[in-house]
A and B are shown apart, each in its own frame.
Chain A
Amino acid sequence: MDVRTHMSMIFHLDKCIGCHTCSVACKNLWTDRKGAEYMWWNNVETRPGTGFPTQWENQEHFRGGWERKKGKLDLKLHTRLEGIFKLFYNPSLPGLRDYYEPFTFDYQNLFNSPKKDVQPIAEPISMITGDPIDIETGPNWDDDLGGSNIYAKNDVNLEDLPQEVREQMNELERLVFNYLPRICNHCLNPACVAACPSGAIYKRDEDGVVLVNENDCRAWRMCVAACPYKKVYYNWNTGKSEKCILCFPRMETGQAPACAHSCVGRIRYMGVLLYDADQIPTAANVPDDELIAAHREMILDPFDPKVIAAAKENGIGDDWIESAQNSPAYKFVKEWEIALPLHPEFRTMVMMYYIPPLSPVVSVTEKSLFRLDLMQEDYDFELFDRLDAARLPIKYLANLFSAGDEGTIRTVLRKLLAVRIYMRRKTVHGKVDSVSRKTLAEAGLTEEQAIDMYKMTTLPTMEERFVFPNYHREMSIKAILDPLTHKGEVGLGYIQQPKRGE
């Protein structure tokens, strides 16, 4: 057992309101620069939809992630030999048009326009060329099912759904969507790291953040193509690749990453997970339907004395172990088993997890019309037994979060529903009846767990949502530098001297 620590984020999709505050917070902090205009290290997609970049999940086209060939894992992008031939021409690489041409508006024209008979307008202009452009698409062009016939219809995850179900999803009464915020998953088996010919990408030891060393990056862009989540972006101005850094400078000072901190729906949780690095190769190389189980197996119980001993042997401090014990991530992923990795079949072993969305859940037919009032608990029960009545097809969620395995999704949804039914009885009716207890038991939860889940979902404080261990940066700095030498300087000295007037 090789115990390591990882900072993981949980996204409770039921709570996401699709406000894009996270994306904007991230953009303002990190990617509001020349060459980075088109990057959205954090983006929020409407599902069903094609996401950003368009149809990123279509790995027949983009060839991201890993593939099992003859019991061995290999990059789907290319073998080593093919890689050499593709060094200068890599057709799997997304181009700017796969993302979108970043634009702004010529606001100055509103102030400076000469006198005319018509009102001046602010024409859209490209942020790359500065020329007027015709906006064709954007990072969330299909937001809230905008342009469904082009985008939502072509969601890759709908592909193996029966035709009639797909058609039903287009009917007004059955329309359904949810939001899917995405950042880099800081994978345990990152395809981006494996594909880089310069060895410029690495996963840091203390918290598992995957980083691009821009001094070593030589613009091969293999990482951009190899990441199945398309979360490495190429900066056309600096000629280097960039990606989400999980706001490590914030985490090191005990603050949540900007996206999580600013989240309006408070859907995000963060905490330490302990995992067994020895299990990564095997867990990434099991048949599709065993992936989730193997992944959960790899996450270790921070209360287990054997794990604690092994962790200490690896030099993990007491405060990190304690932090792992308080981690909301551990509760969601292992204790309650309701948080799932996004597209585990890409086999990069992601370390960010999603709790699949539940609502809006039910629709019943009455006089051949769909009834939408969902608040009566009878329908909850109806759904609990007949999850297929859910408006978002189980298969669709399974394609997103469990490599197509509907059983896993059913278990998770039943847990979520059982807690809802139980808590509704408790708070609305004032007492818990035997039926709701039974539902809870059937879903595999104890009453205590249900209450904990309820509290963690609805009432957590900031400190409960974000549990950060102390990074002890002062120690790692002291080890190599004398802080007094740098007293009176900016930070630890300049990489590039600032110039007046620039």
Chain B
Amino acid sequence: MEVKHKIWNSVGGRSFVILLLSGVLLIGSFFQAAASPGFQSSDEGKDIFEKNCVSCHSIGEGSLVGPDLEGVLDRRDRDWVRDFITIPDQIIVSGDPIALELLTEFNNIPMPNLGLTEAEVEALLVFLEGGESVAPVADAPLPEGNLDRGSAFFTGEDVLENGGTPCIACHTVGSVGPFGGGNLGPDLTRVYGRFGEAGLTGVIKDIAFPTMQGIYVDKALTDQEIADLLTFFATVDAEGEEGVADSATTTFWIIGLLGSGILFGIMAFYWPRQRETLSDRLRRDAGITSRRHS
């Protein structure tokens, strides 16, 4: 039986369907356009700034870990700023003179790659152009820190309240543990000196490093924990030596090689002395030796 679609068979019906389709497409493209960068608002930029930048930068309130960003777009080329926000790591590596100068000026703390999208960077620029000033995060002063607790949080001996990963998983400091800590993140021995108390607090609170962001999302440290860690870092900065973990790695290798050498030595001794199979013994007693196993 032939199925007939009634609507499609009349001229009027046909134009109705085409019109309806065009309408749907038109509305769809409008929403598409609404979502494109051209419509970025400076409000959005403010949000991004407060989430990602404010731990290191202020606008019009002086330098923190990084420079004051007031009038940054007057000082620098807009394209340069855009690129530097998007891929700071690559620009520093490429040896860009401005970037290098900034690096020396700010205690060799590089601007991290925040992993922002093109649209987000654009929104941020729009906000910076607005010239609105943003004060550094002025929080209630941190409670008194405790060195022992700080050290315990670092090594994971004490569990962080919100279940965050202990620092040692990725970082090392001074002479922690016989073999140092992890080496995914940088050595934190001098971190206190480099970031300063305010900077470090900000960085731990509103984490700016994308690698760390993922790990501590929903697992923020409490103020007390931050205070304890700061005390710990301050002490380490004063007393500890950088690069201890590197020499520990060498020790680790030596112990490992020696250990396996000893194990192989023992094996070499016992291997030829393994128990002979009964089958082989019977044949050997009877004076039969094979070509392969003689």
Report A's interface with B, CB cutoff 8 A: 50, 53-55, 58, 61, 91, 94-95, 97-98, 100, 133-134, 136-137, 149-151, 154
Q: Which 5 A-B pairs have the closest CB atoms?
A: A54-B279, A150-B286, A97-B277, A55-B278, A98-B277
| With known contacts A91-B275, A133-B292, A97–B280 Cβ distance under 8 A | yes
Contact B291 A134 (CB under 8 A): yes
Interface residues of B, Cβ cutoff 8 Å to A: 275, 277-280, 282-283, 285-286, 288, 290-293
Most buried by A among B275, B279, B288, B291: B279
Across-interface contacts of A55 in B (CB, < 8 A): 278-279, 282
User: A355 vs B21: C-alpha distance in the bound complex, in angstroms?
Assistant: 90
Q: Which residues of A contact B291 (CB under 8 A)?
A: 134
Q: Which residues of A contact B277 (CB under 8 A)?
A: 54, 94-95, 97-98
- Bound complex: CA of A95 vs CA of B279, how far in Å? 10
In the complex, which of the residues B275, B278, B285, B290 contacts A54, with contact meaning CB atoms closer than 8 Å? B278
Give the residues in chain B near A53, CB-CB below 8 Å: 279
Closest Cβ–Cβ distance, residue A98 to chain B (whole Å) = 5
Q: Which of A55, A95, A150 has the most CB of B within 10 A?
A: A150
B278 touches A58 (CB 8 A): yes
- Contacts of B285 on A, CB cut-off 8 Å? 150
A150 to B280, CA, bound (A): 11
Given A134-B292, A150-B288, check contact A98 B283 (CB 8 Å).
no
Note all chain A residues with C-beta closer than 8 A to B275.
91
**Complex alpha-carbon distance, A55 and B277, angstroms:** 10
Instruction: List the B side residues contacting A151 at CB < 8 Å.
Output: 282
Main secondary structure of the interface of A (DSSP, over half): loop
Complex contacts, A154 vs chain B, CB 8 Å: 282
- For residue A95, which residues in chain B have a CB less than 8 angstroms away from its CB? 277
The tally of CB-CB contacts under 8 A between chains A and B is: 40
Bound together, the chains give a CA A3 to CA B280 distance in angstroms of 46
CA distance in complex: A53, B281 (Å): 13
Complex CA–CA separation, A425 to B56 (angstroms): 115
Q: Would A54 and B282 count as touching, CB distance under 8 A? A: yes
Residue from B282, B285, B288 whose CB has the most chain A CB atoms within 10 Å: B282
Taken together as a complex, chains A and B put the C-alpha atoms of A484 and B290 apart, in Å, by 60
Please name 4 further chain A to chain B contacts, defined as beta carbons within 8 Å, in addition to the given A134-B290, A137-B279, sorted by A numbering: A55-B278, A98-B279, A136-B293, A149-B286
Chain A to chain B contacts (Cβ below 8 Å), 9 pairs: A54-B279, A54-B282, A91-B275, A98-B277, A98-B278, A134-B290, A136-B283, A136-B290, A149-B286
Complex CA–CA separation, A102 to B280 (angstroms): 16
CA distance A53 to B288 in the complex (A): 18
B269 to chain A, nearest CB (A): 14
* CB neighbours of A149 from chain B (8 A): 286
CA–CA, A151 and B285, complex, Å: 11
Bound-complex Cα distance A283 to B293 (A): 46
Nearest residue (CB) in B for A94 is: B277
Q: Chain B contacts of A98 at CB under 8 A?
A: 277-279
Q: List residues of chain A with CB within 8 A of the CB of B278.
A: 50, 54-55, 58, 61, 98
- Taken together as a complex, chains A and B put the C-alpha atoms of A274 and B77 apart, in Å, by 96
B residues within 8 A CB of A136?
283, 290, 293
Q: Which residues of A contact B288 (CB under 8 A)?
A: 150
Q: How far is the CB of B280 from chain A (nearest CB, A)?
A: 6
**From residue A274, how far is it (CB to closest CB) to chain B in Å?**
39
| CB proximity of A396 to chain B, nearest CB, Å | 19
A221 to B283, CA, bound (A): 26
Name the A residues within 8 Å of B290 (CB-CB).
134, 136
Task: State A97–B279 Cα separation when bound (angstroms).
Answer: 7
Q: What is the chain A residue whose CB lies nearest that of B275?
A: A91
Residues of A within 8 A of B286 (CB): 149-150
Q: How far is the CA of A54 from the CA of B281 in the complex (A)?
A: 10
Residues of A within 8 A of B279 (CB): 50, 53-55, 97-98, 100, 137
